[in-house]
Amino acid sequence: MSKPSIPQGMRDFSSETVRKRNYIFSKIKEVFEIYGFQPLETPAMENLETLMGKYGEEGDRLIFKILNNGLNDPKNQEKAKDGFEKLLEGKSSKAITERALKYDLTIPFARYVAMNHGQLTFPYKRYQIQQVWRADRPQKGRYREFTQCDADVVGSNALINEVELAYVYHDVFTRLGLKEYCLKINNRKILASLAIECGDIDLLTNITIAIDKLDKIGIDKVKLELEQKGLNPSQINVIERYLNIIGSNDDQLSQIETLLGSNEQAQEGIKELKYILTHLNQINIEIDFTLARGLDYYTGSIFEVKAPASVQMGSIGGGGRYDNLTGLFGVPNIPGVGVSFGVDRIYDVMEEMQLFPQDLQISTKALFFNMGEKESEYAYKIMQELRKDGIACELYHELSKLDKQFKYAEKKNITYAVIIGSKEIEQNCAILKNLSSGNQENIPFNQLAEKIK
RNA sequence: GUGGUUGUAGCUCAGUUGGUUAGAGCACCAGAUUGUGAUUCUGGGGGUCGUGGGUUCGAGCCCCAUCAUCCACCCCA
């Protein structure tokens, strides 16, 4: 038998890691709940047609598809062969695969809303914390299975939702102690107007992909890429003037008004930005007109959260407004806006910046030493009393040298050692030793719980 | 999907131009120590050198393939 292994980009999480991850989840959940979001879970797999075509061409390629069962059944073999031919041609085939692992939480959520819009109370505010899967090559901060934490509001056009979600970001990162994060905002309408200003709305995708890279590759390479995409010098000139907008939020707003203010869409986008920013004067938020975000379905505000520059992680969260997501599933006129947290990346950032609290790893509070068969029977009864009081404790599993029992306690980060030997039984008390300070004292059995708590 | 990096004991890593029986530190186990975490000393167990082929009298080392890893691109959280 070959050595056991797990698939590429998948991970086991040790106890220590799970505790740290749970710490992040609990903070995020707390904030979601106090802003009035309700939990939702959807299945790991969706019908393939629910997912295909929603994330662009690249996205389709990265969806994990699940092979149908029963392909070897003689009844299905003709179909399966035809289907396989189709696959080889690069088309998809229901005969071979009709289910897939979910790629994000937003599309399954839209599917859920489309299926249940009759029952839901709008605006519907839901949060969802689940795994998603992408068949991407793993690298730093990128895994094939990772967890997203989303909060969305659907059924409301009000910009107050954007304001609320920005506060959600702020509150979560504040609670996690991740102070130097950077929340950026832009509006797709402004990007769209830039494309119109260049003479063709269809240029939007190419333009956004190129300018999104500005801080990574610099202005010259962005211009080169635009040139390669077939833009002419006067178009590139417009974009360059757009990219040269810098300064405080107010400065940037007045500059964009000068450049694109005559465009109706731009006016709308600018108005929205202004509204959101004036309601967010308590927190740090930066306009970034180069912010584009990949997903095609965004139509209004877009958000992105960058990790502190010192850790080189890039995006740890993102979101935005979409006008008609459920329209993809035949239910029109349900606009929405949402944000997402990349927990796995937040974990990596917090690990690197050492932001996890020390006391997360304390599991067992007290270890009862095993001093022999009779003694441990006695100790067991006392231990069960402590457990009734909610104190996590355990009895060392066999009679061993004290040295060994101490080492076990030390490794498991256990706070107290409780030693009950024949002497102690006679005196109706136990030795309670604090393993971090090294102090020990005799404690009557009936006071043990109180001392340990 | 494209390009590169790495893979030797539980962990971190040495290992010469291809040449006897593959090493170290840490960890683990036993003892010195029959009720208090240390230190020290003595002894011990552990490896199909990622996997599968090939070249060679001979491969941890060279070649091919494959899997995993990390990194960059694409894209993205």
CA of A296 to C1' of B25 (A): 54
Q: What pLDDT score was predicted for residue A372?
A: 85
For A362-452, the fitting CATH number among 3.40.50.11600, 3.40.50.800, 3.40.50.2300, 3.30.2130.10 is: 3.40.50.800
Which nucleotide lies closest to A141 by the C1' atom and the CA atom? B77
Q: Residue A314: which nucleotide is closest by CA–C1'?
A: B77
Q: Which two tokens stand for residue A28?
A: 């995020």
| pLDDT value, residue A1 | 44
DSSP-derived letter for residue A74 is G
Rg (CA), chain A: 29
* Cα dihedral A137/A150/A152/A192 (nearest 10): -30
Starting from the edge strand earliest in sequence, which strands make up the sheet with A145-154, in order?
Answer: A38-39, A124-133, A145-154, A336-342, A315-322, A301-306, A182-187, A286-287
Half-sphere exposure of A293 (CA within 13 A, CB side): 29
Q: Contact at 8 Å (CB) between A23 and A356?
A: yes
C1' of B53 to CA of A134 (Å) = 33
- Note the pLDDT of residue A437: 80
Residue type (1 letter), A201: I
How long is the CA A371 to C1' B30 vector, in angstroms?
21
Measured CA to C1', what is the nucleotide nearest A425? B35
Measured distance CA(A314)–CA(A349) in Å, rounded? 10
Q: Which residues, 6+ apart, have CB-to-CB distance to A43 below 8 Å?
A: A102, A108
Let me know: does A193 contact A208? Beta carbons within 8 Å: no
Contact A347, A141 (CB under 8 A): no
**Class of the CATH domain delimited by A15-353:** alpha beta
Which nucleotide minimizes the distance between its C1' and the CA of A132? B77
Among protein residues, the one whose C-alpha sits closest to the C1' atom of B38 is: A403
Q: CA of A2 vs C1' of B24, distance in Å?
A: 28
Regions of chain A short of the pLDDT cut 70: 1-3, 294-295
Whether the model pTM is above 0.80: yes
User: How far, in Å, is the CA of A396 from the C1' of nucleotide B28?
Assistant: 19
Question: Please, how many CA atoms are within 13 Å of residue A171, restricted to the half-sphere of its CB?
Answer: 17
CA A416 / C1′ B37 distance in Å: 12
E-strand stretches of A155-300: 182-187, 286-287
CB A396 within 8 A of CB A367: yes
Query: How far: A237 CA to B20 C1' (Å)?
Result: 74
- β-pair type (A301-306, A182-187): antiparallel
Distance of CA A121 to the CA centre of its chain: 26
**Distance B58 C1' – A198 CA (angstroms):** 71
Give the closest residue to B35 (Cα–C1′): A402
Nearest nucleotide (C1') to alpha carbon of A343? B77
Q: How far is the CA of A326 from the C1' of B32 (A)?
A: 76
Distance A160 CA to B68 C1' (A): 48
Residue A422 CA and nucleotide B26 C1' are separated, in Å, by 38
pLDDT of residue A2: 56
Name the protein residue, with chain letter, whose CA is nearest the C1' of B37: A406
The residue that minimises its CA distance to C1' of B34 is: A401
Span CA (A136) to C1' (B1), Å: 9
User: Residue A213, CA: closest nucleotide via C1'?
Assistant: B75
- State the nearest residue by CA to the C1' of B77: A342
For residue A420, give the nucleotide whose C1' atom is nearest its CA: B35
The residue that minimises its CA distance to C1' of B52 is: A2
Residue-range domain boundaries for chain A? 15-353, 362-452
The set of strand B positions with any atom below 7 Å of a protein CB reads: 1-3, 28-31, 33, 35-38, 50-51, 67-77
Instruction: Look at the alpha carbons of A386, A390, A395, A401 in this order and tell me if their dihedral is positive or negative.
Output: negative
For residues A100 and A124, give the distance between their C-alpha atoms in angstroms, rounded to a whole number.
Answer: 26
Q: Which residue is nearest to nucleotide B76 (CA to C1')?
A: A294
- Measured CA to C1', the nucleotide nearest A342 is B77
